[in-house]
């Protein structure tokens, strides 16, 4: 009988980093015989495995009212406290129903126990874990101390309780080494680092007809050069640097395409970019329709464009972010073998750059060398091919599904779960190590007792 895994977050839809990584984790788990179910305020997963709770979305009216009242202020009114607890109690009931309906054996909390975008959901999930004793993996992508808007707040008591909670049933996972250190220093909680990953063992299969359709819909001719900015439209992504790059190349056939939508943090920055691009004489294209997650489970994606269609039309990728928890867009650009301009954000400097990738790097401003090197890569396809192949081989070593299998398998081996003969392959079949509840099994050998369960 398969183990049932329940993913919990505010949203599992589209191509934001949290949704994408959750889809990849689910893919790896399902390949090993697990069944995955989804709880969120917005979902594009299969209906038979989904539990939609609109009030769990971070843009739900009640939650927005709470955030407006508590962020940027040190005082909380009794009315706001009452609203928080009404929402917490409502969401807790929904979480209990979700666990019971799908027989959840393991919770995977995706960014819902670290970034207080939805305080009632974090409180409700913390209490649910404490009450039910369901083993949990808390997958943390961002923490409140990494966002200036949470520097002053009126909910420090709730943050200490649930963002993240220090419960014995919870195994904590972070996506970079700095987060691991800061989590330990600030809370005493230890965590496992599992970086963002992609299936480098299986390079992407491109659909030429959909690429042609996409170029036509975006008004991109076969002669145009496409510079792709594969991020959401939020200020910390530094998209104005991508506009500066295209303006400086001196190539009128260059068009800048932004793949993701705006709205998570308002539309002011989007309007600024439109005006700035017009001032700089840059042809800016913001994709006007949703791009779906190619690793998700929704059948809708068959009739929509997804990331597998976006990257292939690009000649060059810009990634000038000032801050990233890891950098999904960077990894995706490597996966699709595209040359990249990257800003040296902190996680890049610490966890990615030392591995020896070949990128065009900038240090918070666009220098003449970066512009010249970009022009060279666009003009010399042979040089471009050497570099992208080298980067792909590097990423296959450090950021493949193999890394996810290994580290997730190690966590699974130490969680007291109702395994019911369930196994988890931490390696591909040709060199696999199977984690069982009572033993580590090396294929072809006799089981060796794991003393933890002896």
135 pLDDT more than 60: yes
Tens digit of pLDDT for each residue in 3-62? 899 999 999 998 788 999 999 999 999 998 899 999 999 998 999 999 999 999 999 999
The dihedral region occupied by 219, where left means phi > 0, alpha psi between -120 and 50, and beta the remainder, is left
Q: What is the pLDDT of residue 55?
A: 98
Are 84 and 184 within one domain? yes
Share of the chain above pLDDT 70, in %: 88
In angstroms, what CA-CA distances link 333 with 1, 257, 398?
39, 14, 15
427 pLDDT more than 60: no
431 pLDDT more than 90: no
- Total domains present in the chain: 2
| Residue 87, token pair as written in the block | 């929402």
Q: What is the pLDDT of residue 2?
A: 74
Residue ranges of alpha helices (H) inside 103-192 are 119-132, 156-162, 177-187
449 is a domain residue: no
Are 279 and 381 within one domain? yes
Does this model's pTM top 0.75?
yes
Do 283 and 257 form a contact (C-beta atoms < 8 A)?
Answer: no
Are 163 and 224 within one domain? no
Closest CA to 200 of 425, 434, 403: 403
Instruction: Give the Cα separation of 352 and 337 in Å (integer).
Output: 17
Last residue of a domain, one of 136, 161, 193: 193
Q: For strands 434-435 and 439-441, give the pairing.
A: antiparallel
Q: For strands 4-8 and 106-110, give the pairing.
A: parallel
Are 250 and 141 within one domain? no
Are 239 and 353 within one domain? yes
446 pLDDT more than 60: no
Average the pLDDT over 236-242 and give the result. Answer: 95
Last residue of a domain, one of 398, 414, 439: 398
| Partner residues linked to 153 by β-bridges | 71
438 is a domain residue: no
The whole-chain average pLDDT of the chain stands at: 89
Average the pLDDT over 335-353 and give the result. Answer: 96
Q: What is the pLDDT of residue 263?
A: 60
Q: What is the pLDDT of residue 260?
A: 80
434 is a domain residue: no
The mean-pLDDT minimum among 245-259, 370-384, 407-421 falls in: 407-421
270's CB contacts (< 8 A; 6+ apart) are 233, 262, 286
Which position has the higher pLDDT, 427 or 49? Answer: 49
The values of phi and psi at residue 126, to 5°, are -60, -45
Share of the chain above pLDDT 90, in %: 76
Instruction: Give the Cα separation of 73 and 153 in Å (integer).
Output: 5
Q: What is the CATH number of the domain that holds 342?
A: 3.40.50.2000
Q: What is the pLDDT of residue 418?
A: 64
Average the pLDDT over 102-124 and give the result. Answer: 97
Q: What is the pLDDT of residue 426?
A: 54
Average the pLDDT over 386-392 and give the result. Answer: 98
Q: What is the pLDDT of residue 452?
A: 28
Q: What is the pLDDT of residue 297?
A: 57
Q: What is the pLDDT of residue 253?
A: 94
447 pLDDT more than 50: no
Q: For strands 424-425 and 434-435, give the pairing.
A: antiparallel
Q: What is the pLDDT of residue 450?
A: 32
Instruction: Give the Cα separation of 89 and 133 in Å (integer).
Output: 18
Which position has the higher pLDDT, 263 or 370? Answer: 370
Tens digit of pLDDT for each residue in 145-179? 999 899 999 999 999 999 999 999 999 999 999 99
303 pLDDT more than 60: no
Q: What is the pLDDT of residue 420?
A: 41
377 pLDDT more than 90: yes
Are 185 and 311 within one domain? no
Tens digit of pLDDT for each residue in 172-198? 999 999 999 999 999 999 999 999 999
Are 232 and 123 within one domain? no
Domain hosting 320: range is 208-398
Do 21 and 196 form a contact (C-beta atoms < 8 A)?
Answer: yes
Are 213 and 158 within one domain? no
Average the pLDDT over 394-416 and give the result. Answer: 93
Q: How many CB atoms lie within 10 A of CB 134?
A: 18
Q: How many CB atoms lie within 10 A of CB 189?
A: 18
Closest CA to 324 of 310, 337, 343: 343
Are 8 and 95 within one domain? yes
Average the pLDDT over 420-426 and give the result. Answer: 52
């Amino acid at each position: 009988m398969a183990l049932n895994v329940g993913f919990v977050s505010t949203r599992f839809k589209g191509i934001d980093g949290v949704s994408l990584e959750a889809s990849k984790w689910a893919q790896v788990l399902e390949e090993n015989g697990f069944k995955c179910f989804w709880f969120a305020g917005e979902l594009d997963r299969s209906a038979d495995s989904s539990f939609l709770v609109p009030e769990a979305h971070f843009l739900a009216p009640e939650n927005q009212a709470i955030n407006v009242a508590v962020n940027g202020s040190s005082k909380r009114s009794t009315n706001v406290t009452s609203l928080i607890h009404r929402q917490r109690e409502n969401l807790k009931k929904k979480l209990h129903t979700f666990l019971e309906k799908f027989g959840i054996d393991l919770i995977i909390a995706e960014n819902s126990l670290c970034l207080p975008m939805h305080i009632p959901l974090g409180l409700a999930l913390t209490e649910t874990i404490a009450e039910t004793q369901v083993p949990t993996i808390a997958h943390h992508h961002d923490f409140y101390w990494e966002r200036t808007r949470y520097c002053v707040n009126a909910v420090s008591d709730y943050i200490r309780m649930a963002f993240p909670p220090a419960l014995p049933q919870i195994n904590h996972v972070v996506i970079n080494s700095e987060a691991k250190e800061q989590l330990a220093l600030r809370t005493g909680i230890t965590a496992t680092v599992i970086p963002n990953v992609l299936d480098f063992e299986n390079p992407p299969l491109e659909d030429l007809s959909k690429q042609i359709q996409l170029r036509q819909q975006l008004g991109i001719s076969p002669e145009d050069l496409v510079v792709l900015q594969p991020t959401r439209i939020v200020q910390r992504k530094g998209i104005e640097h991508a506009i500066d790059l295209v303006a400086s190349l001196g190539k009128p056939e260059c068009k800048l395409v932004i793949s993701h939508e705006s709205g998570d943090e308002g539309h002011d920055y989007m309007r600024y970019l439109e005006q700035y691009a017009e001032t700089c004489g840059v042809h800016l294209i913001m994709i006007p329709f949703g791009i779906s997650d190619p690793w998700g489970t929704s059948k809708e994606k068959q009739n929509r464009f997804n990331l597998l269609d976006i990257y292939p039309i690009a000649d060059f990728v810009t990634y000038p972010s000032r801050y990233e928890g890891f950098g999904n867009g960077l990894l995706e650009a490597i996966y699709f073998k595209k040359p990249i301009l990257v800003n040296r954000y902190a996680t890049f400097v610490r966890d990615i750059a030392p591995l020896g990738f070949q990128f065009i790097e900038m240090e918070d401003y666009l220098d003449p060398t970066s512009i010249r090197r970009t022009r060279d890569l666009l003009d010399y396809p042979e040089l471009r091919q050497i570099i992208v192949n080298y980067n792909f081989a590097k990423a296959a070593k450090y950021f493949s599904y193999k890394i996810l299998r290994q580290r997730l398998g190690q966590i699974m081996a130490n969680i007291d779960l109702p395994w019911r003969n369930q196994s988890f392959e931490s390696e591909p079949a040709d060199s696999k190590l199977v984690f069982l509840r009572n033993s580590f099994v090396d294929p072809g050998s006799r089981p060796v007792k794991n003393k933890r369960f002896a």
